[in-house]
Amino acid sequence: MKVAFFVIPTLLFCVLGCEVETEGEGQLRVAPGESDSDSDEGMDDAGESETGEEPEPTALRIVLGGDGSQFVGNTLNAFAGGNYDGMLVSIYIDPVSSHYEWRRFHGGAKNDDIRDLDIDANGRICGSGWTTSVNLPVTVNAPQSAFGGGTRDLFVGCWSAEGSLQYSTYLGGKLAELTDTALTLSADGTPLVTGSTLSVNLATTATALQGAAPAGANGLVFDYGPTGVINWGSYLGGAGTDSVGLHSDLGPNDEVWMIGTSDSADFPVTDGSLLEGGLDSVVARISANGATLELATLLGGSAGDYGKAIVALPDGTAITCGNTYSEDFPVSLGAVQTMHGSQQQEPNYDVVLSHLDSDGSVLAATYLGGEGFDVCSFIDVDGEGNVYVAGWTDDVLDFPLTTDQSVFGAFDPNSQVGFLAKLDPELEVLEYAVRTRSARGMDVLDDGRVVLLAPENPGLAVTSNAIVGETGNALVVLEADGLTPEYAGYVMGEGMGVKVLRARALP
């Protein structure tokens, strides 16, 4: 991760299948789903800002993204067909008042969903997602202009800061691509896309690390130029089931860190691969030109381990987040929690956090959880290297919370409840762990403020500067204590699968 916040006051936020990104220390931008339009490129011209003024340094501009399914039958139904398209909405958040700026849709006759987004220094938004539409709006510069086949393709799109579609392309083969996909932009605006596929005929390049697909499901990683040209593309996997591209990030030299899960006995691990069981988290790092597998390690214990999210740090190391059944995961001695929280004969999931060195060795690792089913959804770091994790638990009374207070108000202890936790860089101190709703997105600013996207909650302490008259996802900006809301309100949309990208830093 490049670690200096953008200076433009903006926030990126997604409602369904998208991610949030900040463009400035203290400013956020959120980017949502897809856009539809009557034009050849699938979008009409973007509207101007309603304010016509530069935002104040403390203002936030949020771009919402989702699959738009909540709008079917309503006045916002601007879809190309009878199913749902993706949605892109820009919101201006001010300390006094907030408002919507513009809205776009993107999709074909069937279902379309953006799952991850990033934004560059100029506010340009790129996203990756999945589609079942054979008529998704693609641009003339698309490297793949037709649906590849099977039940689902991935797609990649980029929009200007004002919401105009710059390019859109399919990414898929004859069989299905899986729904989880991640996208990260390099400093020069190059989108790097990861995911998983069953297809054996993807358009990999001659210099690909793994040009031919092994049997079963495999990871995929494609690097696109700023105009949509494929710089390089590769598979990554073995003979089993490898969902390696669930999440990814770029290191200080644009090396690609990937995380996922593998049960392949022949997964191409590098020397020194860590402890492994039957089903493990897998962490891989590929060189910036796609030609070299610099690191590939299985990370887990004797039971099932599932990699979920990863953040690359400026020193060449990485923090990972996953879920584990293993009671012998290689945690460190001084960890926040050295034992699996579920001491049943057949334990439930615990969250597990790991700090990996550049050679793949574990610098620190800890469990986080109780007797219930505890799941990691998002991970991020602040400017001092503190680690933040958001997820959910089905046994909040046993989860290691540090307070009963919450901006989300009352909760049902018998239902699934979200959590937000902050740990020190060494994973030895639990700074706080607070109750939330199940996170649909998270972004962390350099100063420790946290942006959360979560389901609607009747007890939310709505702030006076919130957009009024909305129901749907709750958007909350928390101060560094994890409890005090700088902004709390609702935004249009109710979709699942939303992600929020952390603030992207410049070199």
Closest to 431 (Cα-Cα) out of 376, 382, 370: 382
* Below-50 pLDDT ranges, the chain: 1-58, 68-82, 494-507
Total domains in the chain come to: 2
Q: What is the CATH number of the domain that holds 139?
A: 2.120.10
| Same domain for 168 and 93 | no
**For residues 352 and 446, is the Cβ–Cβ distance under 8 A?**
no
| Same domain for 137 and 124 | yes
**Residue burial 463-480, b: 16+ Cβ < 10 Å; e: rest:** bebbbeebebbbbbbbeb
| Same domain for 302 and 187 | yes
pLDDT at position 457 is 81
pLDDT at position 411 is 79
Q: Which residue has the tokens 């590849």?
A: 148
| 31 inside domain | no
Query: Alpha-carbon distance 406 to 103, whole Å?
Result: 31
| 224 inside domain | yes
Q: Which residue has the tokens 């390099």?
A: 186
| Same domain for 324 and 466 | no
| 411 inside domain | yes
| Same domain for 259 and 221 | yes
pLDDT at position 73 is 27
| 22 inside domain | no
pLDDT at position 346 is 67
| Same domain for 326 and 182 | yes
Type of residue numbered 60: L
| Same domain for 345 and 282 | yes
pLDDT at position 286 is 96
| Same domain for 458 and 378 | no
Closest to 331 (Cα-Cα) out of 351, 308, 313: 351
| Same domain for 345 and 253 | yes
| Same domain for 196 and 254 | yes
Query: Alpha-carbon distance 132 to 151, whole Å?
Result: 6
Domain span at residue 352 reads 111-447
| pTM for this entry | 0.84
Type of residue numbered 115: R
Type of residue numbered 210: Q
Query: Alpha-carbon distance 259 to 280, whole Å?
Result: 11
